[in-house]
Amino acid sequence: MASDRKYVCDVAVIGGGISGLVAAVRCAQGGLRVLVLERQSGERYLCNSRLSAGVWHICASDVLEAPAVLESKILAATGGEADPALAWMVAHEAARVIDWLRTLGVRFMKGPYAYQRFVMAPPAVSPQGAAWEGRGPDVALQMLEEALNGLGGSLLRGHRATGLETRQEGIGGLRGLTQSSEPFEVRAGNVIIADGGFQSDPGLVREWIAPDPGRVLARNSRASSGDGLRMAQEAGGAASDLRGFYGHLLSKDAAWNEALSPYPYLDYLATAGVVVDAAGKRIADEGLGGVFLANRIAARSGPGDHFVVTDQRIWEECGTFRMTSPNPLLARLGATMYQADSIEAVAGLAGIDASGLASTVAAYNRAVANGSTAGLDPERSADKYKPWPLAVPPYHVFPVLPGITYTMGGIAIDAHARVVTGTGTPVAHLYAVGCASGGLEGGTRHGYVGGLVKSGVTGLRAAEHILGIPA
C-alpha cells in the first residue's frame, strides 16, 4: 500500500476515533482497501472517544425509544435548528450501530440511569487522568483497529493530513506531514474526514465560541484543531452554524487542579439554583441546562468571574444526584467553596456585590413562589429543570468556568455524511463524520444530542454510501 511515503487506497480516513474507525472497518468489510491516518502517536493515542464515559444515548434518552420520539427530542433540544434529515438519521440508525459494534465483540452494559441502557464495558465511571485505560471506549477502539487489520486495512499513527487533492471528478486523495515533518501523499477513491471538532484551535474558538479562549478549560484530548474543517472548506465544502460546544460547568480551580476535570461538574447545582456574575446578576436561563450555561459563560466578553449560588437543600439533594457529584467531591478534591448563613455574607466571602446578589435572590425567590419565573430577566424556564427556592441556610457559592469537550458545529453534510457545498451539492468522494461534521447539534440553543451516537451513525452511513448499500 506504501512506497516512499506514497499510499494508494480505496478509502482514506482522517482520524482514528470512534467515527473514523467505524467507517474504516465497515468499508473494509465491503472489500475496500482502507487507510486510517491518525495525527497522534502512541499505541493508545489520546482522542475524545478514548476519554469518553462510553454512554450511547440520544438527548439523554434511551436509544431504543421509538425513532419518532427520539427525532422529536432532537428537534426540541436544538430549538428546531437541527437538520431534519440528520435528526431522522440519528434517531433511526442509533440502535443499528450498537448492534453492528456488538458483532465485532464490543460489549455494552446497563448503567444506573434509564438513558444508560448502552454503556461500553467495562464502564468508565469517572474517566479522570489515566482512568480511561482498559475502560469500554479504550477497549472498543482497540477492537476496531484489530478488526481493521484483520480485514487488510491499516492505521498509521503520527500522520497529519494537511490538504486534500482535488481532481475534475472530485476529491482524489490527500497530502500531509508525519510527526518528523516528512511529507506524504495518499491517492484514494474516497476521503472521510473524522478528525473531530476545532476545540483546540484558539483562533476558531475565539471566532465562534469564546472571545477569550484562555477562559475556557479543555476537558478533552487536546487533539482536534479543525484541520478537517479547513480542508473541506478549501475543497468547496460549507460549514454549518459553528456556534456551540458540548461541555460542562467546572470548578474554577480546575484550571490548575487536574483532579477537578472532567468531573465533577456543577450542572445540577446550577440548574436548581442561580448563575451570576460578580455584580450578583443572573446571566442566562438556568433551566436550559448546564451545556447551555457553559456556552453562555464562554461567550461573555470582558473580565469577571461567574458563580453558582445554591442553598443547603440544593447542595444536599441536587448536589448528590450523580455518581460523580459535586457533593462531596468538590471539598474532597480541594475546590473553592464559600458558605455562610446569609446571602450577603456568602456574597462578601466570594467577592460578589452583596446588595446585587441579595436583590437577585429576592426577585428569584418571589418568582419561584409565584410560579412566574418566565417573567424574570433573563427568563428562567421550568419545564426541563425545576427552579428551587434559595431559602435554606447555609448558602453556598462556587466559582465556576466553562469546560469544553468538543465543538458542535462543523462541516456541512447530508444524510449520507457527504460533504456538501453552500447550495447543498455534494463534494464528490468527500465525507465528514463524527464531531468533524455539523448540522445536528449546536446553534442558538447549543443543543446537545450525543457525541458517540453521532459519531457511530455518521461513520456507518458514510461507509455504506461508499459501498453502495441503500440507506
For the record, the C-alpha cell of 268 comes out as 445540577
* CA 291 – CA 294 distance, rounded (Å): 5
Please give the pLDDT value at position 132.
Answer: 87
* Pairing mode of beta strands 338-340, 306-310: unpaired
Cα distances (angstroms) measured from residue 143 to each of 4, 67, 255? 29, 28, 34
Q: Quick one: 2-242+408-466 is in which CATH superfamily? A: FAD/NAD(P)-binding domain (3.50.50.60)
For the record, the C-alpha cell of 192 comes out as 472521510
* CA 286 – CA 296 distance, rounded (Å): 10
Burial of 391 from C-beta contacts in 10 A (0-12 / 13-18 / 19+): middle
Q: Give the pLDDT confidence of 143-180 residue by residue, as tens digits.
A: 999 999 999 999 999 999 999 999 988 999 999 999 99
Q: Give the pLDDT confidence of 177-193 residue by residue, as tens digits.
A: 999 999 999 999 999 99
Q: How confident is the model at residue 125 (pLDDT cuts 50, 70, 90)?
A: low
Q: Is the peptide bond before 123 cis (omega within 30 degrees of 0)?
A: no
Mention the CATH class of domain 252-404: alpha beta
- Enumerate the CATH 3.50.50.60 domain ranges in the chain, comma separated: 2-242+408-466
Please give the pLDDT value at position 414.
Answer: 98
Please give the pLDDT value at position 131.
Answer: 78
Q: Give the pLDDT confidence of 272-311 residue by residue, as tens digits.
A: 999 999 999 999 999 999 999 999 999 998 778 999 999 9
The chain-wide mean pLDDT, for the chain, equals 95
- Enumerate the CATH 3.90.700.10 domain ranges in the chain, comma separated: 252-404
Burial of 375 from C-beta contacts in 10 A (0-12 / 13-18 / 19+): exposed
Q: How far is CA 295 from the centre of its chain?
A: 12
Q: Give the pLDDT confidence of 9-27 residue by residue, as tens digits.
A: 999 999 999 999 999 999 9
- Average pLDDT rounded to a whole number, residues 221-232: 97
Please give the pLDDT value at position 271.
Answer: 98
**pLDDT at residue 374 is higher than 90:** yes
Q: Give the pLDDT confidence of 36-63 residue by residue, as tens digits.
A: 999 999 999 999 999 999 999 999 999 9
Query: What percentage of the chain carries pLDDT values higher than 70?
Result: 98
Please give the pLDDT value at position 323.
Answer: 72
Three-class secondary structure assignment of the chain: CEECCEEEEEEEEECCCHHHHHHHHHHHHCCCCEEEEECCCCCCCCCHHHHCCCEECECCECCCCCHHHHHHHHHHHCCCCCCHHHHHHHHHHHHHHHHHHHHCCCCEECCCCCCCCEEECCCCCCCCCCCCCCCHHHHHHHHHHHHHHHCCCEEEECEEEEEEEEECCEEEEEEEEECCCCEEEEEEEEEEECCCCCCCCHHHHHHHCCCCHHHCEECCCCCCCCHHHHHHHHCCCCECCCCCEEEEEEEHHHHCCHHHCCCCCCHHHHCCCEEEECCCCECCCHHHCHHHHHHHHHHCCCCCCEEEEECHHHHHHHHHCCCCCHHHHHHHCCCCCEEECCHHHHHHHHCCCHHHHHHHHHHHHHHHHHCCHHHCCCCCCCCCCCCCCCCCCCEEEEEEEEEEEEECCCEEECCCCEEECCCCCEEEEEEECHHHEECCCECCCCECCCHHHHHHHHHHHHHHHHCCCCC
- Is residue 340 a contact partner of residue 352, using CB atoms and an 8 Å limit? no
Please give the pLDDT value at position 69.
Answer: 98
**pLDDT at residue 127 is higher than 50:** no
**pLDDT at residue 130 is higher than 60:** no
Q: How confident is the model at residue 84 (pLDDT cuts 50, 70, 90)?
A: very high
Q: Give the pLDDT confidence of 415-453 residue by residue, as tens digits.
A: 999 999 999 999 999 999 999 999 999 988 899 999 999
Q: Give the pLDDT confidence of 312-342 residue by residue, as tens digits.
A: 999 999 999 877 899 999 999 999 999 999 9
Please give the pLDDT value at position 1.
Answer: 53
Please give the pLDDT value at position 304.
Answer: 85
Residue 42: CB partners within 8 Å, gap ≥ 6? 157
